[in-house]
Amino acid sequence: MNAERLTTPKENVQQLQEKLGHAAKENKKRRFHALYDKIYRMDTLWEAWKRVRANKGSAGIDGETLADIEKQGEYLFLYECHQILKEGKYHPQPVRRHYIPKKDGKQRPLGIPTIRDRVIQMATKLVLEPIFEADFQESSFGFRPKRSAKQALDRIRKACNRKGNWVVDVDIQGYFDNINQEKLMKLLEMRISDRRILKLARKWLNAGVMEEGTVRRSDLGTPQGGVISPLLANIDLNYFDILWERYGSEFGELTRYADDLVIVCKTKKDADRAYERIRAIMDRLELTLHPTKTRIVGLWTGEEGFDFLGMHHRKTKAETSQGKVYYTTQQWLARKAEERIREVVKERLAPPNMRHKSFLEHVEWLNPKIQGWRNYYYTAYSQLKLAKLDWYILQRLTRWYAKKRQRARWMSSLQEVRFLSSQYGLKTLL
């Protein structure tokens, strides 16, 4: 007789998610009450740990790194998580504030929770996500299982080609810092009646931010960088999606990716009405539209375009085989995305302390990046821009190589670098 095969933590979690998702779809009004014990199950915590570890990331305010946990023993760490959750002794620590410089000279704030908090947030996300997935709309694509930015871009392109000549390009001002926590908690309560889970969410919202040694707490917003933040943002903005379907869909088609959204409309009149309707819904959510970044774009003459998810969208003239002229929507990588790629390559190859690295080490570092960029940005209309970026990467490698070899003129090393690039299998964007 065959011994029964033991299921893995991943399979157990998948089964649990399927059950919860099915129950949520079956009954749209159902509120779930016995969920907390699913979060501290050891198989849920193992799966959460595996995902947090795969995302890499740095330490929170306690300084504990992923390597530290592996050293002390993963099982011990997860058993501690299990115990403090089970006994109701879990208290999240404030997130560590970290700033990422933006192109316009401003800085984007990121919150880095401790690894323990990330694992417990991930375990909670694994349990809650399938329940709220049952309620999320077709128009939403960001940070959802089996949904991607590419699908969002495809939806927009098709909407524009179906006589969508006007676009409302929406920017929510400081979204993550301005989420109304009380409204968010009410939206959570519409599906969750387990008090301990609601208490957990409340604790994360109130954990605060550690900056220069002091902790700041706010009754607005959710810290960017937390594992649970994208799910909470989707729960919050799903309210917008539902209200749009109900009161705005006659004016245009919505596509949303996290807090980025566009509405594709057929006429200028529809776009103006859509803009007013968006503003009214945002008022209900107590959110503000960015006064200069939110705009109405006319596509039909091909003179104007808009950027969304790193791609530029614009209508251009094309011809049928019978010589009939029509306009079609083209997408190519946006200027900002192009500059970002150049920046990443330059940051790697330009610094003097990178000269000791070998050619192969640089190729091994660049290849996965180039592959990722190609997968995302390649379209028939991006080819010229991608060819220029390929040349930029080759040029940067050549400059690095010439400096490493202490040669005054980098151009004289170009042939050599071309040869080495093909020998070591440097990937290209085209």
pLDDT per residue as tens digits for the range 1-21: 455 667 899 999 999 999 999
Q: What's the rounded Cα separation, in Å, for the pair 53 and 42?
A: 16
Provide the pairing of β-strand 260-265 with 166-171: antiparallel
Determine the length of the chain.
430
- pLDDT means per 10 residues in the chain (430 residues)? 72 97 97 97 98 94 96 97 98 89 74 95 98 98 96 97 96 90 96 97 91 82 84 96 97 96 98 97 93 94 93 90 87 96 97 96 98 96 96 98 95 97 97
Give the pTM: 0.91
Query: 214-216 and 209-211 as β-strands: parallel, antiparallel, unpaired?
Result: antiparallel
Predicted pLDDT of residue 1:
46
Question: And the tokens for 430?
Answer: 């085209």
Identify the pLDDT of residue 386: 98
Distance of CA 50 to the CA centre of its chain: 19
DSSP string of 21-58? HHHHHH-TT--B-S-HHHHS-HHHHHHHHHHHHHT---
What pLDDT is recorded for position 6? 79
Q: By the 8 A CB rule, do 80 and 118 touch?
A: no
